[in-house]
């Protein structure tokens, strides 16, 4: 049986990056979100950072009022952000690590090292009706801690895979595949994202069992040349193609094993 289609969450942070560069009213992330939804986005992701370099608190409040799909609010584990999530009550909250000086999110959340704070945030957010995911590296200890902390979902950080090529990328892909398997066995829903683009997404979509991919920078960059709706639609097509290729490969592997069973 075919697995359910992998969902696409479109991260619109970098529409706001362009707006903040000049302090103008445009381009408006709310307008971008609605266009992305029309093009087939299954959800909208935003990451209001502590330094508010792109998404503003007002954007989050407006999006909560107008989205037709669902919001995935990426946030640091701070009292300020927890209070915002409790006010806005997005469908999904993804807890991420944050360093003010970083260019983008450089690694996964250290759930093991911050267990009490993360588990407490999971409880508060669940009480507010949010489904919580933890943005983690594909590490067994972090997956196990995410489960113990009470998060029903993990998002695997694909940045290390995206930054590498050749054998090193294949090794990162294998880590992501093993981490997905482990998280699924623990009963977690598994999402993935960061640094995914039109060249590297198909191999990730081929990993069996993924629920959703969150992709932003590459889609917004491509939108400059083909428009946002086409950029979202192209990404969706690649995800479906990658998932289909993974499904066919898994059937072939299954048949191959059975042929060997027959020989025994």
Ligand X SMILES: CC(=O)[C@@H](O)[C@H](O)COP(=O)(O)O
Asked if 198 and 219 count as a contact pair (C-beta separation under 8 A), the reply is: no
**Rg from Cα positions in the chain:** 19
Q: Vertex 31, ends 28 and 35: CA angle to 5°?
A: 140
Q: Vertex 78, ends 77 and 82: CA angle to 5°?
A: 85
**Sole binder of ligand X in the list 77, 135, 188, 238 (CB under 6 A):** 135
**Sole binder of ligand LD2JLWAY in the list 70, 148, 217, 229 (CB under 6 A):** 217
If one asks whether residue 161 binds ligand X (CB under 6 A), the answer comes out as: no
Per-position DSSP letters for 204-246, written without gaps between them: HHTSTT--EEEE-HHHHHHHHHH-HHHHHHHHHHHHHHHHHHH
Nearest to 42, CA basis, from 187, 213, 208, 159? 213
If one asks whether residue 194 binds ligand X (CB under 6 A), the answer comes out as: yes
Q: Which of residues 4-63 bind ligand X (CB under 6 A)?
A: 11, 13, 47, 49
Q: Was 14 annotated as part of a binding site?
A: yes
Q: Was 9 annotated as part of a binding site?
A: no
Q: Which of residues 34-93 bind ligand LD2JLWAY (CB under 6 A)?
A: 45
Asked if 153 and 133 count as a contact pair (C-beta separation under 8 A), the reply is: yes
**Sole binder of ligand LD2JLWAY in the list 173, 194, 211, 222 (CB under 6 A):** 194
**Sole binder of ligand LD2JLWAY in the list 69, 133, 214, 243 (CB under 6 A):** 214
Site residues for ligand X per CB under 6 A: 11, 13, 47, 49, 74, 96, 104-105, 135, 193-194, 216
Q: Which residues carry a binding-site annotation for 3-amino-2-oxopropyl phosphate?
A: 11, 22, 195, 216-217
């Amino acid at each position: 049986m075919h697995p359910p289609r992998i969902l696409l969450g479109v991260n619109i942070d970098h529409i706001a990056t362009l707006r903040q560069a000049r302090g103008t009213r445009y381009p408006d992330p709310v307008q971008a979100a609605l266009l992305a939804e029309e093009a087939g986005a299954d959800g909208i992701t935003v990451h209001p950072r502590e330094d508010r370099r792109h998404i503003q608190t007002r954007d989050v409040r407006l999006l909560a009022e107008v989205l037709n799909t669902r919001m995935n609010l990426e946030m640091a584990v701070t009292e300020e952000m927890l209070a915002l999530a409790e006010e806005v009550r997005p469908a999904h909250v993804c807890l991420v690590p944050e360093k003010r000086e970083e260019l983008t999110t450089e690694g996964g959340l250290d759930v093991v090292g911050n267990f009490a704070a993360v588990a407490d945030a999971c409880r508060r957010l669940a009480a507010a009706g949010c489904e919580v995911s933890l943005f983690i590296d594909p590490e067994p200890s972090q997956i196990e801690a995410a489960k113990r902390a009470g998060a029903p979902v993990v998002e695997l950080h694909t940045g290390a895979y995206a930054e590498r090529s050749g054998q090193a990328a294949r090794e990162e892909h294998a880590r992501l595949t093993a981490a997905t398997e482990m998280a699924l066995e623990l009963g977690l829903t598994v999402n993935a994202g960061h640094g995914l683009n039109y060249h590297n997404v198909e191999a990730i979509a081929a990993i069996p069992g993924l629920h959703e991919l969150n992709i932003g920078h590459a889609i917004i960059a491509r939108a400059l040349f083909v428009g946002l709706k086409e950029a979202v639609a192209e990404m969706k097509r690649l995800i479906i193609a990658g998932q289909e290729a993974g499904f066919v490969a898994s059937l072939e592997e299954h048949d191959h094993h059975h042929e060997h069973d027959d020989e025994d």
